[in-house]
């Protein structure tokens, strides 16, 4: 118990420093664990490796369970084709790139296979937390990313089972995969029929729900053990089994503090378990991190745009997926336990995982995505169609309301120009023969190319209301009407003060805009 108390004390100190200095907690937890290990070695005190390993496995079980709760397949509805194509291409291409890089650096084939698999999967916990903080769980690219994470986790579970069984022969590999798939089907059945029945027929309080969720975790972990599978496979499938709405939301709220506790316990124990990598391995870690980020961002951006997502959404998805997963640590841990990889390689994979998890909030910033989108090839041919336009309508930002508004204007014979910074949107509009300008709607040169001062109306539906301020300032001395989508009441007052016409949401913007069109813009034959 004293060793456990020391781990918890170190975790509390690391969390306190993290809050005080506003630094990510995961690196500090690892450093605290490594510091405890170094201190024990200096004092010639034996570190209880069995306790450390048990704490790592227990922490991973809860984290993997929490990850499974977030991955409801309902979020893939209508996106199964795009999700499947992107997940398969990204997972196996990145795994191949990581494995070949490891071979090039001189690692053996088994070690290279573990490294390639570890690089392939992205962190469900990191990505979900990021989407929740930015309130993007239900945006199209958010749903795409969550679907990809679900398939990635399924792939890595099956590969992990195959790697563990490989030394026993291909028959045992097939047997292990069959057992994992059978347990997966049981989880699907539980997800589809048992959870809805419990939610509809039984009124459970929070304590009963918590006990029920933990009972499911223990039951699936026990079944995994009986089927000779890693018990963490059972933990993930248990989380997936109760990921159906509304059960997942109820369990997620109760798991918040619990998963935070085990997150600290896992990373502090992992830090104590690590061995110090050599200088050569640190260089190799930097190479693997570079391969991971570059390949993921480029590959996901290209494939997501091909399957129908805008350039900006595709780039954001690539940035958000450019880290390794808690499953990478699970895979490495099982490899160490089976004797297939060394403790030093586990430390290398842990270094890559923690580094990329820490970099994700920085890489996935909106400003980074915007800079990368600007490097996308521009489509200039659409701009030539609006060089002499006047008396037209300008849509600053296409978005969700753009197609409906554009169609309604075209039906009334009103010429339109669409301004959007997304190359994928511009390419689509050019294919439809719609005059368009690629650029930022808050940039004066872009507004000039769209002839906004000669337009009858400008409709601003950009992501941030403050971006419309430039258009309002630019058009304040012109007769052009400016309609601005807003989200908060105080923004309505600001828009009115600047001479614009605010509307509350994208849907309301379309409705109010069309009402305004009926009164102010009679049927016409052209712009």
Question: Looking at residues 110-131, what average pLDDT do you find?
Answer: 88
Whether residues 363 and 419 share a domain: the answer is: no
Is the predicted pLDDT of residue 383 greater than 70, yes or no? yes
What is the layout of strands, in order, in the sheet containing 481-485?
436-438, 416-420, 393-396, 457-460, 481-485, 501-503
pLDDT at 384: 74
Rounded percentage of the chain residues whose pLDDT exceeds 90:
21
pLDDT > 70 in the chain, percent: 88
DSSP state of 193: I
299 and 399 inside one domain: no
Task: Give the separation between CA 406 and CA 509, rounded to whole angstroms.
Answer: 13
Last residue of a domain, one of 373, 408, 423: 373
CATH at residue 492: 3.40.50.720
Q: Kindly state whether residue 1 falls inside one of the protein's structural domains.
A: no
Residues 336 and 405 reside in one and the same domain = no
Whether residue 308 is found in the same domain as residue 449: no
Residue of higher predicted confidence among 106 and 443 = 106
Q: Note whether 461 and 487 are same-domain residues.
A: yes
Range of the domain at 305: 58-373
**Residue 389 shares a structural domain with residue 274:** no
Residues 227/184, Cβ–Cβ less than 8 Å: no
Provide mean pLDDT across the span 44-70: 76
pLDDT at residue 487 tops 60 = yes
Question: Is residue 31 domain-resident?
Answer: no
Are 79 and 200 in a shared domain? Answer: yes
- Position 337 in a domain: yes
284 pLDDT more than 90:
yes
In-domain check, residue 120: yes
pLDDT of residue 262: 79
CATH code, domain carrying 84: 1.20.1530.20
Average pLDDT score over the chain: 82
Among the listed ranges 204-213, 341-350, 416-425, 471-480, which one has the minimum average pLDDT value?
204-213
Q: Is the dihedral of CA 256, 7, 123, 158 positive or negative?
A: negative
389 and 277 housed in the same domain? no
Q: For the segment 145-178, what is each residue's pLDDT rounded down to a tens digit? A: 988 998 998 899 899 899 888 888 899 999 999 9
436 and 358 housed in the same domain: no
Query: What pLDDT, on the 0 to 100 scale, is given for residue 520?
Result: 54
348 and 393 in a single domain? The answer is: no
Which pLDDT score, from 0 to 100, does residue 489 have? 75
- 483 domain-assigned: yes
Residue 209 lies in a domain: yes
Q: Name 204's Cβ contacts closer than 8 Å, sequence gap at least 6.
A: 198, 212
Domain contains 322: yes
CA distance 447 to 439: 9
Domain-ending residue, one of 314, 341, 373:
373
* Count of the separate structural domains present in the chain: 2
User: Does 513 have pLDDT greater than 70?
Assistant: no
Q: What is the mean pLDDT of residues 424-432?
A: 85
Q: Model's pTM, two decimal places?
A: 0.77
Q: Which helix (H) or strand (E) holds 452?
A: none
- 345 lies in the same domain as 388: no
The pLDDT, as a whole number, for residue 253 is 67
In a domain, 30, yes or no: no
Provide DSSP, 75-138: GGTT-HHHHHHHHHHHHHHHHHHHHHHHHHTT--HHHHHHHHHHHHPPPHHHHHHHHHHTT-TT
């Amino acid at each position: 118990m004293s060793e456990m108390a020391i781990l918890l004390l170190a975790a509390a100190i690391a969390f306190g420093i993290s809050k005080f200095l506003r630094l990510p907690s995961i690196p500090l937890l690892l450093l605290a664990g490594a510091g405890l290990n170094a201190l024990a070695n200096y004092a010639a005190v034996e570190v209880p490796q069995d306790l450390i390993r048990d704490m790592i496995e227990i922490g991973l079980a809860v984290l993997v369970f929490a990850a499974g709760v977030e991955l409801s397949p309902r979020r893939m509805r209508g996106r199964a084709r795009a999700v499947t194509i992107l997940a398969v291409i990204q997972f196996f291409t990145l795994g191949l790139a990581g494995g070949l890089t490891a071979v090039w650096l001189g690692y053996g084939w088994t070690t290279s296979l573990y490294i390639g698999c570890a690089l392939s999967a992205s962190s469900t916990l990191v990505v979900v937390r990021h989407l929740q903080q930015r309130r993007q769980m239900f945006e199209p690219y958010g749903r795409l990313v969550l679907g990809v994470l679900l398939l990635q986790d399924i792939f890595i579970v099956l590969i992990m089972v195959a790697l563990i069984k490989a030394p026993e022969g291909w028959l045992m590999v097939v047997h292990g995969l069959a057992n994992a798939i059978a347990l997966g089907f049981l989880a699907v059945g539980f997800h589809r029929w048992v959870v809805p029945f419990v939610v509809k027929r039984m009124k459970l309080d929070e304590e009963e729900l918590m006990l029920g969720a933990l009972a499911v975790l223990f039951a699936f972990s026990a079944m995994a053990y009986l089927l000779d599978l890693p018990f963490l496979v059972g933990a993930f499938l248990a989380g997936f089994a109760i990921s159906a709405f509304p059960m997942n939301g109820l369990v997620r709220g109760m798991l918040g503090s619990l998963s935070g506790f085990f997150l600290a316990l896992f990373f502090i124990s992992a830090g104590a378990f690590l061995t110090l990598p050599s200088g050569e391995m640190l260089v190799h870690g930097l190479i693997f991190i570079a391969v991971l980020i570059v390949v993921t961002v480029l590959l996901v951006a290209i494939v997501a745009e091909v399957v129908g997502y805008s350039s900006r959404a595709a780039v954001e998805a690539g940035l958000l997926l450019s880290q390794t997963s808690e499953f990478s640590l699970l895979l490495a841990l099982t490899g160490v336990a089976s004797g297939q990889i060394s403790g030093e390689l586990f430390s290398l994979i842990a270094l890559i995982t923690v580094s990329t998890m820490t970099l994700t909030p920085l890489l996935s910033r909106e400003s980074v995505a915007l800079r990368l989108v600007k490097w996308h090839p521009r489509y200039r041919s659409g701009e030539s169609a609006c060089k002499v336009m006047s008396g037209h309508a300008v849509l600053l930002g296409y978005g969700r309301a753009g197609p409906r508004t554009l169609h309604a204007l075209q039906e009334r014979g009103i010429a339109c120009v669409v301004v959007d910074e997304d190359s994928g949107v511009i390419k689509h509009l050019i294919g439809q023969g719609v005059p368009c300008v690629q650029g930022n709607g808050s940039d004066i040169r872009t507004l000039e190319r769209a002839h906004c001062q000669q337009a009858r109306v400008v409709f601003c539906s950009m992501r941030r209301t403050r971006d419309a301020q430039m258009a309002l300032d630019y058009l304040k001395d012109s007769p052009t009407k400016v309609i601005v989508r807003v989200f908060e009441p105080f923004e309505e007052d600001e828009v009115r003060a600047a001479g614009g016409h605010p509307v509350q949401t994208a849907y309301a913007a379309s409705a109010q805009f069309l009402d305004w069109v009926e009164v102010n813009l009679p049927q016409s034959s052209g712009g």
